[in-house]
Amino acid sequence: MNFQLFYNKNCFFESKTTFSKNNNYICALKNKIMANHKATNKDTRQANKRRERNRYHGKTTRNAMRDLMAITDEKAAAEKLPTIESMLDKLAKRNIIHKNKAANLKSAMAKKVAALSNPPAEVVKKAPKKAVVKKTTSKKTGKK
């Protein structure tokens, strides 16, 4: 790839240039930060590490969930479910996802595994109910 060095506001970027509608550079950050303080540089490095780590854990969990949804064997799915629930709990603990989202995902996974062990019975369709027509009374408003 052809990378060039550009000055953009406070930082130097090593990036491949593309133009947006207003002809500003869209730069891909390559950890070439020129901050004004050592502490700011360190904070940026730490944030980048955390972001990469969080992306890794999130992607790994999503892949495991996808694999679980594809499983059709109930025994294999039941064995894999606790592992995925643990992964979701860890993501919630690290504030990568919200705790309620983790709970919703765990519930959906458990329902999927339960559906594998208990296949749904044939559903008998009921005849549609007749529509009830309500009689409306209209008041006559007359001016005297």
Count of residues for the chain?
A: 144
Pick from 68, 82, 83: which is nearest to 115 by CA? 68
Task: Name the CATH topology of 38-117.
Answer: Methane Monooxygenase Hydroxylase; Chain G, domain 1 (1.20.58)
Predicted confidence (pLDDT) per residue in 33-68, tens digit:
678 899 999 999 999 999 999 999 999 999 999 999
Alpha carbon distance 87, 91 (integer Å): 6
Other Cβ atoms closer than 10 A to 21: 5
Q: Give the tokens for residue 68.
A: 């679980």
What per-residue confidence (pLDDT) applies to 130?
76
- Looking at the chain, the domain(s) classified CATH 1.20.58.110 span 38-117
Instruction: Select from 61, 46, 60 the least CA-distant residue to 101.
Output: 61
**pLDDT for position 137:** 72
Can you tell me the distance from the alpha carbon of 8 to that of 33, in angstroms, rounded to the nearest whole number? 11
Residue 41 to residues 15, 32, 118, Cα–Cα distance (Å): 19, 10, 56
Residue-wise pLDDT tens digits, 82-110? 999 999 999 999 999 999 999 999 999 99
What letter would DSSP give residue 131? P
Among residues 94, 111, 12, 2, the alpha carbon closest in space to that of 53 is found at 94
